[in-house]
């Protein structure tokens, strides 16, 4: 777990949001032999929100690969996945509890809306 993930985990704990770290790898592409060629393992699963959360410290402009994998996971597996970019992580971690919960819930709603 990197520093950004640890900070998000601490904030989730403060908010009493249940989370599981990297519980599932979603297969996005397979080789001819059936083995995984490309997989995606979101950083967190929030069971009560039925939401996967991918945390990235890279600048948003440099996150094309993660964003593509999140989009493919949504399309192929029908999951709701939210990518928290650096600025999202900073806002979430630095926010007081009420605002942090609003950030998380609004982002989750937006991720769900983009899944349709």
Would you say 17 and 104 are in contact if contact means Cβ atoms under 8 Å apart?
A: yes
Domains of the chain: total: 1
pLDDT value at residue 41: 93
Strands 81-84 and 51-55, by their bridges, are parallel
Instruction: Give the CATH number of the domain where residue 50 resides.
Output: 3.40.960.10
Model confidence pLDDT, tens digit, residues 14-63:
889 999 999 999 999 888 998 888 899 999 999 988 999 999 887 666 57
Domain carrying residue 101:
3-114
Would you say 85 and 60 are in contact if contact means Cβ atoms under 8 Å apart?
A: yes
pTM: 0.83
């Amino acid at each position: 777990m990197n520093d950004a993930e640890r900070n998000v985990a601490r904030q989730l704990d403060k908010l009493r949001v249940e989370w599981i770290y990297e519980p599932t790898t979603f297969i996005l592409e397979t080789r001819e032999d059936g083995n995984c060629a490309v997989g995606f393992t979101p950083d967190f699963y929030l069971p009560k929100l039925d939401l996967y959360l991918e945390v990235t410290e890279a600048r948003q402009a440099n996150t094309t690969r993660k964003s593509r994998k999140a989009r493919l996971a949504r399309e192929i597996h029908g999951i709701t996945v939210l990518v928290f970019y650096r600025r999202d992580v900073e806002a979430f971690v630095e926010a007081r509890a009420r605002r942090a919960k609003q950030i998380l819930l609004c982002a989750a709603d937006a991720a769900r809306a983009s899944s349709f």
